[in-house]
Amino acid sequence: MAIDTFFAYSGTYSNVEDALADYEAVHVLHTELGLIDAYDAAVVERKDDGKVKIVKKHETPTRVGGVAGAGVGLATGLVIALFPAAAIGGGLLLAFGGGGAALGALAGHAAAGMSRSDLKELGEALDAGQAGLVVVAVSDMEAKIEGAMKRADKIQAKQLKADQKAIEADAKAEDK
C-alpha cells in the first residue's frame, strides 16, 4: 500500500469573495511553478440558512482520473466529510451514479487520512467563518500556499495521508 503524505490547508474567511481571491492566488502559484496537477482546492460558502455549499473547486485530474471522469479530489472529499450536505448543494451527487457512493468513499478516504482531533479542529475552524478555502497539496508547499492565502482570517495546516491507488480502485469499482 503506497501512502502519499499531503497537507490540508484551511482558511477561514468573513466573505466568499476573499476566499475566491485566495483560491485564484493558489491556482496562479501552482501554474507558475508548473504544478497545476499537484493540488486540489475547494471554496465553501455558508448560506444565510446555515447550509454549506461548494462554490468553486479544482481537482488534480491525474490523481482522480479513476473517479468516473467526475474530477473530485481530496479537498472536495474533506469538505464532504465535514459538511455532507455540501454534496447536495454543490450538485456533486448528480455527477455520480449509485447515489453518490463513490463520493462517499472519497470523503471516507480523505477523513481517514487525518487524525480525529485534526479533522474536528478543521471543521470547527470552517464553521467559524462565512466562507472557507480548503487546499490539499504536497507537503513542501506549506509556506507558499499560506503566503497565497493572505486574505484568510485564520489558516491551519494539517497532515493528510492518502492511498491514491485505493481511492482510484474504489472509484473504478463504483463505476461498474
Give the domain range for residue 10: 4-175
Given this model, what pLDDT does residue 160 score? 83
- Cα separation of 73 and 53, whole Å? 16
- Domain count across the chain: 1
pLDDT for 66-125, tens place per residue? 333 334 477 777 777 776 655 544 444 334 444 445 555 666 656 667 777 777 787 787
pLDDT for 120-175, tens place per residue? 787 787 788 899 999 988 878 889 999 999 999 999 988 888 766 666 666 566 55
Question: What are 147's three cell numbers?
Answer: 503566503
The closest alpha carbon to 79, from 9, 22, 142, belongs to 9
